[in-house]
Amino acid sequence: MILTVTFNPAIDKTAQVDELIVGGLNRLQNVRQDAGGKGVNVSKTIRALGFESVCTGFLAGAGGRMIEDALDELRIANQFVWVEGNTRTNLKVLNKDMVLTELNEAGPRIEPEDVDALIALIEKTAKPGSIVVLSGNVSPGVESDIYRRMIDDLKQTDIRVLLDADGDLFREGIKAGPFAVKPNRFELAQYFGVEEPDNALDTARLGRKLLNEDTKLVAISMGGEGAIFLTETDTLYCPVLPIELNSSVGAGDAMVAALAISLERGDALEELAVLAMATSAGACTTAGTQPAGLGVVETLKTKVKIENLEG
């Protein structure tokens, strides 16, 4: 089974303006709302591809109920720990050149007993052999070593963790040896304290440093420049797929969804890369954080090109 964990879900409000004026009045057009937050998006994508996952994390207030309703409507199994306050709303503004500005709220305060309740829920739900996806930011009150502690515990019961986080959450999480990670190129460079590499080979060489006895797969997303997939023996680079861009919000989550599916069914690396590229590009063709449909993803899969970078 696949379990997605979202410590800080969000209602994503996506809108457009011609030009975003900082310090001025901006009149938003084409406003839409989606149930979001990274793990929630992963579960939505897994569903759109015809697979199952269980979606968990923290929800609060009216915002939380909207997300729960949306998941129920999509028939995505979900069980959240309810906390005080209100689930956040994140504003994503696209200008006419499709440049994205994101305004993410901090989210409701989480108490230590809420964290204990979530960990107990995950330990009860995830069976040995499961894939657990830990992704996104955490809200105030949650320590930045939380993913590290959870990975340490989950590994004891033969659960493979797929980690998609940034900053200290990633820095700490990686210490526990998650089975797979999906940094974007910026996050990778930030982790190693270096300039962002400007080519795929240097990016791959940096990413390779994350591989070890525990961490068997590193996927590095590079936005409009494609992605790299690394295992001990292989270094695959896939150029970006040509698509009509609508909104790239959640493209990384779509890639994580594909990785989770491929890991669960034991796909070969090439097959995993094809699904990851097609699913993430598909997410860019839809408005807001909606996943692409299976038909779109199947068509995109036929267009994926794979280059073996190091032999």
Ligand X SMILES: Nc1ncnc2c1ncn2[C@@H]1O[C@H](COP(=O)(O)OP(=O)(O)OP(=O)(O)O)[C@@H](O)[C@H]1O
218 binds ligand X (CB under 6 A): no
Of 9, 26, 116, the closest CA to residue 68 belongs to 9
Candidate list 2, 12, 48, 235; residue touching ligand F1X; CB under 6 A: 12
Candidate list 222, 273, 292, 300; residue touching ligand X; CB under 6 A: 222
Which of 12, 18, 253, 267 is flagged as catalytic? 253
Q: In this structure, are residues 163 and 151 in contact, taking their beta carbons and an 8 Å threshold?
A: yes
**Is 253 in the active site?**
yes
Which residues lie closer than 8 Å to 69 by C-beta, 6 or more apart? none
CB of 256 to ligand X, least distance (A): 8
CB of 136 to ligand F1X, least distance (A): 3
Binding to ligand X, residues 255-294 (CB under 6 A): 255, 277, 280-281, 284
x/- binding map, residues 91-120, to ligand F1X, per CB under 6 A? -----------x-x----------------
180 binds ligand X (CB under 6 A): no
**Within 105-250, where are the H helices?**
112-125, 146-156, 167-175, 185-192, 200-208
Q: In this structure, are residues 93 and 20 in contact, taking their beta carbons and an 8 Å threshold?
A: yes
Candidate list 245, 298, 299, 310; residue touching ligand X; CB under 6 A: 245
Whole-angstrom distance, CA of residue 125 vs CA of residue 123: 6
* Three-class SS state of 165: coil
90 binds ligand F1X (CB under 6 A): yes
Of 214, 38, 278, the closest CA to residue 138 belongs to 38
CB of 289 to ligand F1X, least distance (A): 5
